[in-house]
Amino acid sequence: MFIFYAGLAGFEGGKGMTGSSRVVDPHGRTLALAPAVGATIIRAEIDFAEVDMARANLPLLGDLNAVLPDLLGDEELFPRPNLRSSERVS
């Protein structure tokens, strides 16, 4: 997902706030960043295809449901333990 953070800038109620608004893409890269002080308008070009690319490159645990049976059958990834005949479970 894209993250759009709009931070307050200036002073309100005796508290100082730094703006630092930003737009972050699904890969964690900052696309636009406002300065820490002063009111600013920022703009960034958003390509929603980047969401699909990030999901493909960084699958979540929930995405494993589709490929888990194939992964478990892979002897290189999940070798079976060598059990002695007295330890084998039938």
For residue 88, pLDDT beyond 60: no
- pLDDT confidence tier of residue 84, bands split at 50, 70 and 90: low
Max intra-chain CA distance, the chain: 75
**CA-CA distance, 20 to 42, in Å (whole number)?**
10
pTM over 0.75: no
CA 17 to chain CA centroid, Å, is: 27
Q: How far apart are CA 5 and CA 33, in angstroms?
A: 10
Specify the higher pLDDT residue, 25 or 57.
25
Interval 38-54: pLDDT, tens: 788 999 999 999 998 88
User: What percent of the chain is modeled with pLDDT above 90?
Assistant: 30
